[in-house]
Amino acid sequence: MDRGSAEAPIGVFDSGVGGLTVAREIMRNLPAEHIVYFGDTARLPYGSKSRETIVMFSRQIIRFLQTQDVKAIVIACNTASAYALDEVSREGGLPVIGVVKPGARVAAEATKNGRVGVIGTQGTVGSHIYRDLIQKNDPRITVIEKACPLFVPLVEERWIHDPITRQVAERYLAEMKSQQVDTLVLGCTHYPLLRSMIGEVMGSSVTLVNPAYEAAQELKRLLEREGLANPGTDEKEFPYRFFVSDLAENFKEFANSILPYDVGMTQKIDIEEY
């Protein structure tokens, strides 16, 4: 398969399982596309690591995905999108998109009162990437940012509809509410799994922006523009392949709770060789 052919797969990567929420949106919205997913489970989480480290990790992963002849790459991790996208975009001639730019653009378009909230990991929030990109779209918008480091482990405990998670959400989101944001960006791939609880805490008048969904829409436009959309004529038995850097048992378990089918065929690779 030639690189750049329409039949080639999309490369999607994340620090772990969270990016499967992005893969899921691509599966739903671009059902003819094949996907090669890489989860860097040996080195997760990215949220608390430095820019330099995340850029190095991202380069290694892109080199690996290139060996899988992908036609485009989606950085499904907010932290890696924030830190590495500008440095790796068009790496090796491939189009690379992240989740942050599409999420920021839609948030800037959605707000009516000019007050947008952003929640994410320490890395994403500390980089101020959403704030900077939202204000690039419209400099008059006020952006309130808040790191919510307990949300990921709460989701991984599957305490999704739970009074403890509700209290954590209420504490984390108290400032967003008092600052009267009318739009809230779910700036971490795990957070869409808490969408209903976050929606309840924020109230129905607040628009929740899911960058995973917006990235899938962006990818769709990109593939059409570059003539790379898969015509869907080749019926592959396994259109989705999964790779991880560490085969911990809970990857499969958690992946199966996000995706509607068995990802038992996950392969481990040594990412430090790339």
Per CB under 8 A, residues contacting a copy of itself are 41-45, 48-50, 53, 122, 126, 149-150, 152-154, 156-157, 163-164, 167-168, 171, 245-250, 272
- The answer to whether 148 is a known catalytic residue is no
> Measured from the CB atom, is 107 or 152 closer to a copy of itself?
152
> Measured from the CB atom, is 83 or 130 closer to a copy of itself?
83
> Measured from the CB atom, is 72 or 168 closer to a copy of itself?
168
Catalytic entry in 100, 141, 188, 209: 188
> Measured from the CB atom, is 92 or 153 closer to a copy of itself?
153
Separation between Cα atoms, residue 85 and residue 96, nearest integer Å: 7
DSSP state of 138: -
List the one residue out of 245, 196, 222 whose CA is nearest residue 73. Answer: 222
Q: Residue 55 Cβ, how far from a copy of itself at the closest point, in Å?
A: 12
Q: In what order do the strands lie in the sheet with 240-244?
A: 96-98, 72-75, 10-14, 35-39, 240-244, 267-268
CA atoms lying within 13 Å on the CB side of residue 5: 9
> What number of helices (H) and strands (E) belong to the chain?
11, 10
Q: Residue 43 Cβ, how far from a copy of itself at the closest point, in Å?
A: 5
Q: Residue 138 Cβ, how far from a copy of itself at the closest point, in Å?
A: 30
Catalytic entry in 77, 97, 99, 143: 77
> Measured from the CB atom, is 165 or 183 closer to a copy of itself?
165
Q: Residue 221 Cβ, how far from a copy of itself at the closest point, in Å?
A: 35
Q: Beta strand 72-75 with 115-120: parallel, antiparallel or unpaired?
A: unpaired
DSSP state of 245: S
Q: Quick count: other Cβ atoms within 10 Å of Cβ 172? A: 18
Q: Residue 111 Cβ, how far from a copy of itself at the closest point, in Å?
A: 29
Dihedral of CA 100/144/43/256: which sign?
negative
Q: Quick count: other Cβ atoms within 10 Å of Cβ 37? A: 28
Catalytically active residues, by annotation: 77, 188
